[in-house]
Amino acid sequence: MRIFVFWSEHYAMRGTVDAVARALGGWGHEVVVFRRRFSLRERLFGPDRPGDCRSWRLRRRARREAQNRAVRRTADADRPDLVLSFVGVDDWLFPETVAHLRQAAAGPVAAVLVDGLADRRMAGGLPHYNPVYSFDPRDPPVLREQYGRDTGAWRHFYDPAVFFPDAGVAPDIDLCFVGHPFPARLRLLDRVAAWCAEAGRRLAVAGRFWKAGRIGDKGRFARRHPALARYVDNRLYAPAEAAMLYRRSIICLNMHGNPSHEGGVQEGINIRTFEILGAGGFQLVDRLRALEPCFSAGRELETYGDGDELIEKIAYYLDHPDKRRSIAARGHAAAREKWTVDRVMRGFLAGLAPDRGNAP
């Protein structure tokens, strides 16, 4: 089966698409991966700056049009059996390109909303995808009612080729966090950083917390978050770097708090939930109902409800290594049993179009 896979270099999916391509290719499918390529200026300042001059906007549009034309030509020449598009906050495929793929493909043209319906910029292409999957359990009713799409739940997974325990790595960091600085996360990280400074604990925070190419942004962040700024490595970690950080850390913090399309925050669990456990890390994650079908709180990972409980459990598990290690071991075993890329993608393909024999 010939499968087209699309993604736009979404930071949380940097290793996921490669893992999906390897898994599908290992089952004998022919996989073609399309990536949206950003210019250096877009990488430094972001792809959609409100203050960009007209010439920059026209160049960006022309580059995107060229990429879409290439996709349409390839689809006409190769006629894929399945199209799978991982859509972040925006979809680099034009609606007319998605419609063209529907005409050219022999099978489904499916979208996976890796950020859920967090941003309406992807809405243009949604009427052309079918089915559409989202990691946020609140999205399927919206997708059915507003867009008339077949929908389903998307479960993240981890790549055991990258995220695996390593007994030879001795933990030298007390706490770590990897992710984007959403407001809810910043409030908690400020408290954690202040606690670490007072208790003399080692904290490592990775992510793009300020714009490296924007003059004064780092200073503004440091003034607003003085305790936290000293612990931030302000860059996006490659999957292998994140895996090593999880192995080096005694406690791996995981916070959600992603803004949702309807206000509030999303309710789906992120990919780091699986990657931390895959790397053998002890995970302390905010308490979400969506965790219950996947992992057992207190047995395979630990949860917290608010900032006070977070600090309390950090202190407790730093002082109780045996309990922490046993929970981490059970969490890794549960992730390895159910949530590797091979297991999840086999189930996904089997449910996507079982009548076409898409299951490997």
- Residues with Cβ within 8 Å of 59's Cβ and at least 6 positions away in sequence, in order, are none
Pairwise CA distance, residues 13 & 181, whole Å: 17
Cis amide bond preceding 131, omega within 30 = yes
Please identify, in words, the CATH class of the domain defined by 2-155+341-356.
alpha beta
**In the predicted model, what is the mean pLDDT of the chain?**
86
**What integer pLDDT is reported at residue 173 of this predicted model?**
98
pLDDT tens for residues 163-207?
Answer: 999 999 999 999 999 998 989 899 999 999 999 999 999 999 999
Overall size of the chain counted in residues: 360
pLDDT tens for residues 93-109?
Answer: 889 999 999 999 999 99
Q: How confident is the model at residue 148 (pLDDT cuts 50, 70, 90)?
A: confident
Of 126-130, 216-220, 242-246, 258-262, the range with the highest mean pLDDT is 242-246
Question: Which CATH number applies to 173-338: 3.40.50.2000, 3.30.479.30, 3.40.50.300, 1.20.1250.20?
Answer: 3.40.50.2000
Q: Where do you find CATH 3.40.50.2000 in the chain?
A: 173-338
> Which one, of 12, 149, 4, 7, lies nearest residue 72 by Cα?
4
Question: Which helix (DSSP H) or strand (DSSP E) does residue 16 occupy?
Answer: helix 16-26
Pairwise CA distance, residues 216 & 218, whole Å: 6
- Which segment of 41-45, 55-59, 148-152, 281-285 scores lowest on mean pLDDT? 41-45
Query: pLDDT higher for 126 or 353?
Result: 126
pLDDT at residue 297 is higher than 70 = yes
pLDDT at residue 15 is higher than 60 = yes
Q: How confident is the model at residue 58 (pLDDT cuts 50, 70, 90)?
A: confident
